[in-house]
Chain A
Amino acid sequence: MAIPTPTHPCWQRLASGALSRMQTQHLGTQFLIKNMERSKDPLPDKAQAIRAYFTKWERLLAHEIQQLAKL
């Protein structure tokens, strides 16, 4: 499954808290989720960081990427 496009509404949803519902056993993703929960950064910045993260790790995170547009 491909990474959703940069304009896909999922990124805003994920940055607004939906990311916390992701099921993952991947350490870096778990830390990212907790960091986003605790971060006071503006939503657009968080959305961009989340997208950059999954773009980088696409090959290792098929299970997580399947969830992106569904959370």
Chain B
Amino acid sequence: MNNQLMRVSAVAELLHAGRPLAIAGPESALDQLPAGPWIGGTIPYFMTDAGGCIVQDDRVFVTDLATFGQEVNFACLSSDELERISGDAPDNGVALAILPAGSATHQRFASEAASYPDAFVKPTVGWISGVHLGDLGRVTPKVYDGREARKHEDRAVVAHIRLPADQLALVEIVNLFEPEEGDVLHFDETRFEVGECSVNGERVRLSDYITSRGLEHGRQPLIGDFAGAKVNVSLQSVDTAQGRVHLYAPVFPGVDYRFAKPQPDYAEHFRSEIAGRDTSGAAWSCNCILNFVFGELEGKRIGGLSGPVTFGEIGYQLLNQTMVTLRVV
């Protein structure tokens, strides 16, 4: 059994047996796990076969990396060592990384990931750890280096997974959003916090543009066009008094951005998108907390692989409001 919620007592047995695991769960549950071959991150939200759920007991979500990897090595990296996420991955392998939301590690990875060594030859998937939304501002997201059963607020934990020689890691995304056909936005710098930008070549305060269009609710992300790949950047807050917009991922210069069209039915749209896809070799997945909240996914099934619902998704680079899936094919 893989990619499922389990009691910590059952997970401890797997760890004692030497199974290499990636684990997501509430901090109180992760704190109970013994030292062993695992990495983890805090989050209480999950998509499962039974639907979206919030876990506040001693269950954690477990991915057994030995089910698709031949060899797994773990690392715990500072913000100055993040290029090792892809750099230390095996030649025929994949890195699974977990970083804590709001940390310097998170911010640096988001800005730099595409420039890391072999970033596109040795793919990275992963997620940004978070907290129960009721604990925002009171509790900090954590990641765990299971080798020492130690938690961190500002480091990246990574599983470097070597695949069989005849298999490859295929990273895919499900992004429900489509860009509007109108205004094109450009940004001068790689930033999570934006003052001015250009809209169709005209300099404006982004906060003014957003409020003039009534988009400050944050349900419609910006979508960057990365050679046809739709990369969402979600709005965290819009401060019209200060003229600042805070984002959940950075915008980049040299990329065309448009706001997304509204999304009327997340669950149905996910179901139809996932049902039409090849899911052979599915090994790991995550989805976004904003999809969970805005799409009211608690108790709803969307199909596809189960996984944590996160404060940011990683498919080569940081993504927002996106489902990421790793297939080994």
| Chain A interfacial positions (CB closer than 8 Å to B) | 20, 22, 24-25, 27-35, 37-38, 49, 52-53, 56-57, 59-60
Classify the interface of chain A: helix, strand, loop or mixed. helix
- The contact of B317 among A31, A38, A60, by CB within 8 Å, is A31
User: Quick one: closest A residue to B169, CB to CB?
Assistant: A28
- Decide if A20 touches B120 in the complex (CB within 8 Å): no
Take A27-B171, A27-B172, A27-B173 as given contacts and tell me if A33 and B121 are in contact as well, using a CB distance cutoff of 8 Å.
Answer: no
CB contacts under 8 Å to A, within B243-295, are 252-255
Contacts of A25 in B (CB 8 A): 228
Contacts of B316 in A (CB 8 A): 27-28, 31
Nearest first, the 3 closest Cβ-Cβ pairs linking A and B are: A30-B229, A33-B227, A34-B226
Contacts of A53 in B (CB 8 A): 120-121
- Decide if B168 touches A27 in the complex (CB within 8 Å): no
- Decide if B168 touches A34 in the complex (CB within 8 Å): no
- Decide if A30 touches B121 in the complex (CB within 8 Å): no
- Decide if A57 touches B226 in the complex (CB within 8 Å): no
Task: Add 5 more A-B contacts to A30-B229, A31-B114, A37-B227 (CB < 8 A).
Answer: A27-B171, A27-B172, A27-B229, A35-B114, A35-B115
Take A33-B227, A38-B252 as given contacts and tell me if A28 and B168 are in contact as well, using a CB distance cutoff of 8 Å.
Answer: no
- Decide if B329 touches A35 in the complex (CB within 8 Å): no
Contacts of B252 in A (CB 8 A): 38
- Decide if B170 touches A30 in the complex (CB within 8 Å): no
Contacts of A57 in B (CB 8 A): 168
- The contact of B120 among A35, A38, A59, A60, by CB within 8 Å, is A35
Tell me the complex Cα distance, A22–B229, Å: 13
Whether B179 sits at the interface, judged by CB under 8 Å, is no
Chain A CB within 10 Å — which of B118, B119, B226, B317 has the most? Answer: B226
User: Quick one: closest A residue to B229, CB to CB?
Assistant: A30
Whether B315 sits at the interface, judged by CB under 8 Å, is yes
User: Quick one: closest B residue to A50, CB to CB?
Assistant: B120
Whether B123 sits at the interface, judged by CB under 8 Å, is yes
Contacts of B329 in A (CB 8 A): 60
Contacts of A24 in B (CB 8 A): 227-228
- Decide if B227 touches A34 in the complex (CB within 8 Å): yes
User: Quick one: closest A residue to B228, CB to CB?
Assistant: A30
Contacts of A27 in B (CB 8 A): 171-173, 229, 315-316
Tell me the complex Cα distance, A28–B316, Å: 7
User: Quick one: closest B residue to A32, CB to CB?
Assistant: B120
Between A and B, 29 residue pairs with Cβ closer than 8 Å are A22-B227, A24-B227, A25-B228, A27-B171, A27-B173, A27-B316, A28-B123, A28-B316, A31-B114, A31-B120, A31-B317, A32-B120, A33-B226, A33-B227, A34-B255, A35-B114, A35-B115, A35-B120, A37-B227, A37-B254, A38-B252, A38-B255, A52-B118, A52-B121, A53-B120, A53-B121, A57-B168, A59-B168, A60-B170
Contacts of B227 in A (CB 8 A): 20, 22, 24, 29-31, 33-34, 37
User: Quick one: closest A residue to B166, CB to CB?
Assistant: A59
- Decide if B226 touches A31 in the complex (CB within 8 Å): yes
Q: Measured between C-beta atoms, what is the minimum distance from B148 to chain A in Å?
A: 33
Tell me the complex Cα distance, A37–B224, Å: 14
Q: Measured between C-beta atoms, what is the minimum distance from A56 to chain B in Å?
A: 5
Tell me the complex Cα distance, A38–B111, Å: 13
Chain B 89-126 near chain A by CB (<8 Å), digits 1 or 0: 00000000000000000000000001100111101000
Tell me the complex Cα distance, A22–B226, Å: 13
